[in-house]
Structure 1
Amino acid sequence: MSIEVFNRYEKKFLLDQQTYEAVSAVLQEQMTLDAYNQANGFYTISNLYCDTVDDALIKKSLSKPIYKEKLRLRAYGIPELESKVFLEIKKKYQGLVNKRRTTLELTEAYQFINDKVIPEKKPYQNRQVINEIHFMLHQYKLKPMVYIAYDRKALFADDLRITFDTNIRTRRYDLGLERGDYGRPLLAKGQWLMEVKAEKTLPMWLVRVLSEYKLYATSFSKYGKEFLTKDEDYKYQIEEKKKVKGEKVTCLSPYLVQQQQAAR
């Protein structure tokens, strides 16, 4: 069974291509690559972020409050309607991140979000998390608002997890996980987002690596970045349609994964 509750601290760093290659090589001497990375190089994560019609949750998040929360639907690769996906609440209080999630079939998740009615009990669901999501859906009147996908490399060592995300793309139209992981680029080509996630303090060897490569933590949110640049979505969509003469834009990711069976 996959882990459904996480409590950890997260630090984020923006890297260029050269720094990514150097730091990734050093980290792999101390950490273990995710099993799926060993076989495929990268795996793709796709998300639907839910918000109010006036973007209340992301606006609050960008104001840097002591407490903030978000709701997202997550899949690995491009799921089919009967595929298992994760519906999860991510909360942050004074720097500590708490993530609570449950497994649903994609059609169940869509119906839950749209109708805001608790789904019929299934053995793969975490009912406590289902109830919390149900409350949140009603409290804020949430609906899918934005799609964000990216290609990831992940490394592990004890309670330490470090991820590298690249090719981050997003759209505010065609909001379905099963509809493909295309969209406008969120970062410049060759930029990487490194996230350091730990339940306790960082090991000294990692502190030395961060110091050696002059890496400093920054405040960065994929959804926040998307919201601040969302007006570019319409222009991007028009330009892409011109390129393909009205046909659907093809997937931007060179690391397409249909579905990752192992839970992350």
Structure 2
Amino acid sequence: MNSTLKYRHELKFFVNQHQYQIISTRLRNLVSRDEHASSSGEYHIRSLYFDDINNKALHEKLGGIRDRVKYRIRIYNIEDTTIHFEKKIKFRDYIAKVKEPLTREMTDEIMVGRFEGLNIPDKPLLMELYHEMKHNLLRPKVIVDYVREPYVCHHGNVRITFDKELRSGRHSTELFNKNLDPVRAIDENLIIMEVKYDEYIPEYIKAALQLEGLNRQSASKYVMCRKFLKYNSWEDY
């Protein structure tokens, strides 16, 4: 484990609409809304995930490899005011994230396969991405699109999110397309609940979530969207 990174626990669950209504109602009376959420309590996330010529990230996840990384560009509310290239690191039961801001111009270049702009020696993550794209042919694979309802609890630094309407889009150049019509990649009755925390979850949060009775799942949104495209004959692994 890299001691310079901040690792956190991450638990994922599928919840149905009924479970979501019960848990979210409880949380509203116990914890705060995320400050970045709109008046509706939500915001929109769209990520462009990358993989190399061998689809390493996909196959490692499907093969149950515990220690692995994923690369993605992430935007919010389909705007170009905040763009990050992120590296998500999985180590045993912990996760960490490293990110670097991108300009819209840099992002547009990357989406069409021009990555020389990442060759910035004093930006380690961008240099890593540059070498991955140059030597391992790291390239955009799928757009992952959803609406997030986030809650935060300062005790234990717990973050609980409900990710709704998971959708998949294939064409990387449409990352900023507000008229993009991605296709649903999950049953419309299911919502992904994620619980992230540092050292512990307070007992009153555990009681509200009732995690023991939920359907724990391990499939990443990236894998779900890639598999959805394959099963619908749009893509070959």
CA distance in 1, matches of 2:130, 2:172: 24
Report % sequence identity.
23
CA distance in 1, matches of 2:39, 2:182: 26
Name the residue aligned to 2:96: 98
**Cα separation, partners in 2 of 1:120 and 1:139, compared to 1, 3 Å:** closer
Structure 1 segment 249-260 matched on structure 2, within 5 A: none
Name the residue aligned to 1:132: 128
Name the residue aligned to 1:51: 51
TM-score of the superposed pair, with normalisation by structure 2: 0.84
CA contact (8 A) 1:69 1:90 kept: yes
Residue 211 of structure 1: how far off its partner (Å): 3.1
Q: What amino acid is aligned across from residue 206 of structure 2 in structure 1? A: V
Aligned length: 225
**Cα separation, partners in 2 of 1:120 and 1:221, compared to 1, 3 Å:** closer
Residue 35 of structure 1: how far off its partner (Å): 2.6
Runs of 5+ unmatched residues, structure 1? 236-264
Structure 1 segment 1-264 matched on structure 2, within 5 A: 6-37=6-37, 39-80=39-80, 83-112=81-110, 114-119=113-118, 127-158=123-154, 159-173=157-171, 175-180=173-178, 181-211=180-210, 214-233=213-232
**Cα separation, partners in 2 of 1:188 and 1:70, compared to 1, 3 Å:** same
**Cα separation, partners in 2 of 1:139 and 1:28, compared to 1, 3 Å:** farther
User: Which is further off, 218-227 or 157-166?
Assistant: 218-227
TM-score of the superposed pair, with normalisation by structure 1: 0.76
CA contact (8 A) 1:184 1:233 kept: no
**Cα separation, partners in 2 of 1:224 and 1:32, compared to 1, 3 Å:** same
Question: Per-residue CA shift, 1:121-155, capped at 9, x if unaligned?
Answer: 7xxxx823323333433453211110110001001
Q: What amino acid is aligned across from residue 101 of structure 2 in structure 1? A: T
Runs of 5+ unmatched residues, structure 2? none
Residue 78 of structure 1: how far off its partner (Å): 1.4
Q: What amino acid is aligned across from residue 163 of structure 1 in structure 2? A: T
Q: What amino acid is aligned across from residue 210 of structure 2 in structure 1? A: S
Q: Residue 125 of structure 2 aligns to a residue in which SS?
A: helix
Question: Per-residue CA shift, 1:8-58, capped at 9, x if unaligned?
Answer: 110001111111011001112221011343513321100100112442321
Residue 233 of structure 1: how far off its partner (Å): 4.5
CA contact (8 A) 2:118 2:129 kept: no
